[in-house]
């Protein structure tokens, strides 16, 4: 499912226009992104939690030249599925 299909599904289930569903989806994504930028965790009970993970700096190799390169530390978004979502899939 891509973004436009998700907007269609939201509009159908919530009985709202596609434009309103698109704005709602964009607002949700922006709110989650903003919260993660601040280092907060976003928990949607039954669905899951979005949080920020940390990657340590490490050594890597350029696959073309086989030269060693330094990969910097990074903050990365992560998602942990909730029990209700896991149960819905099984």
Q: How far is CA 61 from CA 28, 66, 76, in A?
A: 38, 6, 21
Q: Give tens-digit pLDDT for 57-87.
A: 999 999 999 999 999 999 999 999 999 999 9
Q: Give tens-digit pLDDT for 15-70.
A: 999 999 999 999 999 999 999 999 999 999 999 999 999 999 999 999 999 999 99
Question: Would you list the domain boundaries of the chain?
Answer: 1-40, 41-90
- Which tokens belong to 49? 């939690």
Multiple choice CATH, 41-90, 3.30.2310.20, 4.10.520.10, 3.40.50.620, 3.40.50.300: 4.10.520.10
């Amino acid at each position: 499912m891509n973004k436009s299909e998700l907007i269609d599904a939201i509009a159908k289930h919530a009985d709202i226009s596609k434009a309103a569903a698109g704005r709602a989806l964009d607002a949700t994504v922006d709110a989650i992104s903003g919260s993660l930028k601040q280092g907060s965790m976003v928990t949607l009970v039954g669905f899951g939690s979005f949080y920020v993970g940390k990657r340590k700096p490490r050594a890597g190799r350029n696959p073309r030249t086989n030269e060693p390169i330094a990969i910097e530390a990074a903050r990365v978004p992560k998602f942990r599925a909730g029990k209700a979502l896991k149960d819905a899939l099984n």
